[in-house]
């Protein structure tokens, strides 16, 4: 379904606000108000336009920022969690691990050990290649991993 240029501009306004302040709370009513459309229309149109719901988009931005801070600073992980909009260190760690596949401390160690190799790569390219894949909900990803652990696929022919 094609969206009007006016609606896309309105949705981009909300997306830009989330990009500018991913550490803030961005509930659907606030985003809809920024876009000057109804809440239901905003949520549906955002997903149609950008391929993921607003909440997942915001999670992507928060995790990207956390990865950059882990890689480029020596801030404590707790401080990074709070700066990127998480209210609980436990929730940050769990969702970070679910999305990236590793704990924040492990990612920091790995990223800092290879950062000198990326010194000449533009930051936008580094971010694009390391962008979390949130095409499915984190809870769905967790459920699929649990099923795979419980019922590993057999390599034997039946």
- Structure confidence at residue 81 (pLDDT): 96
Least confident residue range of 89-93, 123-127, 153-157? 153-157
Residue 122 confidence (pLDDT): 79
Report, as an integer, the average pLDDT of 40-65: 94
Three-state SS across the chain?
Answer: CCCCHHHHHHHHHHHHHHHHCCCCCCCHHHHHHHHCCCHHHHHHHHHHHHCCCHHHHHHHHHHHHHHHHHHHCCCCHHHHHHHCCCCCHHHHHHHHHHHHCCCHHHHHHHHHHHHHHHCCCCHHHHHHHCCCCCCCCHHHHHHHHHHHHHCCCCCCCC
Mean of pLDDT values over 104-117: 82
Residue 114: what pLDDT? 74
Domain boundaries, the chain: 5-51, 60-150
Identify the pLDDT of residue 135. 62
DSSP 118: G
Give tens-digit pLDDT for 111-141. 887 755 666 677 777 767 766 666 666 666 6
pLDDT of 80 reads 96
Backbone dihedral angles phi then psi of residue 152, each to the nearest 5 degrees:
-60, 145
Domain 60-150 has CATH 3.40.50: no
pLDDT tens for 53-89 read: 999 999 999 999 999 999 999 999 999 999 999 999 9
Whether 21 shows a pLDDT value over 80: the answer reads yes
Nearest to 54 by CA among 34, 70, 68, 80: 34
Provide the pLDDT for residue 83. 95
Average pLDDT over the chain reads 85
Q: What confidence score (pLDDT) does residue 5 get?
A: 92
């Amino acid at each position: 379904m094609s969206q009007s240029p006016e609606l896309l501009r309105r949705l981009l306004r909300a997306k830009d606000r989330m990009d500018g302040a991913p550490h803030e709370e961005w509930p659907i009513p606030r985003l809809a108000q920024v876009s000057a459309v109804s809440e239901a229309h905003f949520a549906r149109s955002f997903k149609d336009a950008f391929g993921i719901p607003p909440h997942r988009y915001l999670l992507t931005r928060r995790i990207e920022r956390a990865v950059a801070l882990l890689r480029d600073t020596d801030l404590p992980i707790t401080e990074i969690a709070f700066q990127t909009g998480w209210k609980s260190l436990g929730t940050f760690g769990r969702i970070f691990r679910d999305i990236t596949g590793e704990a924040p401390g492990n990612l920091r160690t790995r990223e800092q050990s290879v950062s000198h190799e990326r010194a000449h790569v533009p930051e936008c390219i580094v971010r694009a290649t390391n962008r979390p894949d949130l095409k499915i909900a984190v809870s769905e990803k967790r459920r699929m991993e649990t099923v795979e652990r419980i019922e590993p696929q057999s390599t034997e022919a039946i």
